[in-house]
Copies of this chain bind each other. A is one copy, B any other.
Amino acid sequence: MNDPAGRFTLRQLSCFVAACEGGGIGAAANRLHLAQATVSGAIADLERTLGVQLLVRGRRRAATPSPAGRELLAQASDVLAAAARLDERSSALRGEVSGELPVGCLVTLAPAVAPAVCRAFEARWPRATVTLVPAHQGELLARLREGTIAVAITYDLGLNPAVEFSPLAPAPPYALIPAGHRLAAAGSAELAELATDPFLLLDLPLSRNYFLGLFRAAALEPIVARRVADPELLRSLVAWGYGYTLANALPGPERAVDGTPLRALPLRGGPAPPRVGLARRAGLEPTRTATAFAEACTDALATRWGQA
């Protein structure tokens, strides 16, 4: 790249355009709040670096653009207009809630919370749009670090000190059991009551470790009958009696996708439940838009999730 920066400056272009449009160098100097000598020199420098005579200097009459200057005037105005757009957009980023906000969301959490949250945010701030990036925890953290997403909706599990976490709601684990299970009538269960059943493990990076960790914490050994990476398939398998499984987040309807009924039982005991919340890059002060999104999440989850 033969860099145009370093050859001429925005100030020079500004002087040139002002002199063309404002009727002379002196007039431009007034408008730009500069000395006449400054504007004169800036344009002379610009002419030298571009190698083109831009202005026709009349001694008596104000300077006017030369034919070549007239042509370059349009291009110079383009540069200044682009600079003005950048300036405008930056103050918008600083001040208003608008534009595109890239938001990451843990895949297992996305269907339950992303639509409601995005809807609430975009309804409140119509000039902003959310670009949703569903990913697993590792990718979310990488993207937060590299700036591809401004914020991530996820659990406070497996985080590192480079991200800051603001909890929104606790997500206590549930057990999912077939409708005809011996505990189906109970209001809740303990992990020990289930451990003798075949266990269907949600085999995703974060879930895998978390759920197995629950058994370890209770000094139990689950009978892992199957490892399944798809949450909906898992629900179906439970409904059809292949075993039980554990899940966080919203328990969902008490039917699998094919209509077969199942039951969700809150788990008693165990360690403190994980929390759903917003993860941001530590040390990166959020834009106004990102802050507004965080507020919208608080509101949306308080009403939707709070009583679940």
Contact = CB atoms under 8 A, between A and B. Distances in A.
A258 interface: no
Contacts of A66: 147, 150, 281, 284
B71 A99 contact: yes
A87 interface: yes
Interface in A128-170: 145-150
Contact of A86 (B78, B91, B100, B148): B78
A7 interface: yes
Contacts of A68: 93, 150, 287
Interface stretch (A57-65, A116-124, A194-202, A248-256): A57-65
A64 B10 contact: no
Interface stretch (A45-53, A179-187, A269-277): A45-53
B4 A10 contact: yes
Contact of A94 (B13, B52, B78): B52
Contacts of A290: 67
Contacts of A176: none
A13 to B, nearest CB: 7
A56 B146 contact: yes
Interface of A: 1-11, 13-14, 32, 50-53, 55-56, 58, 61, 64-72, 75-76, 78-87, 89-91, 93-94, 99-102, 145-150, 281, 284-285, 287, 290
28 contacts: A4-B10, A4-B84, A4-B86, A4-B87, A5-B10, A5-B13, A6-B10, A8-B10, A8-B83, A8-B86, A8-B87, A9-B9, A9-B11, A51-B90, A51-B94, A52-B90, A52-B93, A53-B285, A56-B146, A56-B284, A66-B281, A67-B102, A67-B147, A67-B148, A67-B287, A70-B147, A79-B83, A81-B82
